[in-house]
Amino acid sequence: MKTKAIVISGNGTNCEMEMAYACELGGFDQVDIVHISELLYGEKKLNDYHFLNLPGGFLDGDDLGSAKANANRIKHAVINNTGELLFDHFLQFIQQGGLILGVCNGFQLMVKLGLLPGFDQEYTVQRATLTFNDSGRFEDRWVYLKINEASPCVFTRGIEKIYLPVRHGEGKFVVENEGVLKKLHSHAQIVMRYTRTDYKEATGDYPFNPNGSVDAIAGVCDESGRMFGMMPHPEGYLHYSNHPRWTRERLPEEGAGVSIFRNAARYVRHTLL
């Protein structure tokens, strides 16, 4: 049986090609880039896949806040006059054990849909958001990330640290209240945090923390570890030549971002097939 990944495109996404290639490098047997309209018309179905990718971009131009318009669309859109909501298909996909990765705009989408942090398997209530960077500008730089090895996250198993690019204007992770932050910590759902160059202590200092996220949070998962959202772009580092210092440092040919997708493929192969 094939391992199958779906990458959603449309309405302003612009990283779908890189994300699909990352899935291929990670070991998925079949990778399809699917426009959201194909889901809405019933031409493609989420339950035909094991791994759902929500790539970065500028959904609806971010005119109502990053990914907010698309979150509303997904929550209320009816599939081809069937009476079935597209969002219900998302929830069914989760219930069937599928993996979801949201990167940058995809992370913003997951948070605004309520899929993350998903406390107690409650995937319909928004508990956090991602808002304007403290710098007041679009940040395009590389960041140092320490992985929480106690996290249940499927995607970061065996990874202690990682260096990846960020490209966003609204990447500041904030929570509804202190209770949400405490629960994220107690359930080890904070997967990765911004650090200085030594990958040790999390930092709020700019530019190492490029957006001012609370507790230097760069990515979170749900309690199952199967849904993961992150602001840095793993699909932006698939080959050593993607690295900003590739002409000055000796680097492995494979970029560190591939490991995120390889973990997803390994999980699907060992758990869902």
> Which residues are marked as active site?
104, 233, 235
- DSSP 3-state assignment of 53? strand
Pseudo-torsion of CA 143, 263, 220, 87, nearest 10°?
A: 120
Under 8 Å between Cβ of 245 and 141: no
Calpha distance 157→154 (Å, rounded) = 6
Cα–Cα distance measured from residue 201 to residue 199, given in angstroms and rounded to the nearest whole number: 7
Q: Say what the alpha-carbon torsion angle 126, 127, 131, 134 is, to the nearest 10 degrees.
A: 180
Nearest to 138 by CA among 231, 256, 53: 231
Backbone angles phi and psi of 240, in degrees to 5: -60, -30
Buried b (16+ CB within 10 A) or exposed e, 152-165: bbbbbbebeebbbb
Check: CB of residue 116 under 8 Å from CB of residue 126: no
Q: Angle CA(258)–CA(263)–CA(265) in degrees, nearest 5?
A: 95
Amino acid at 159: I
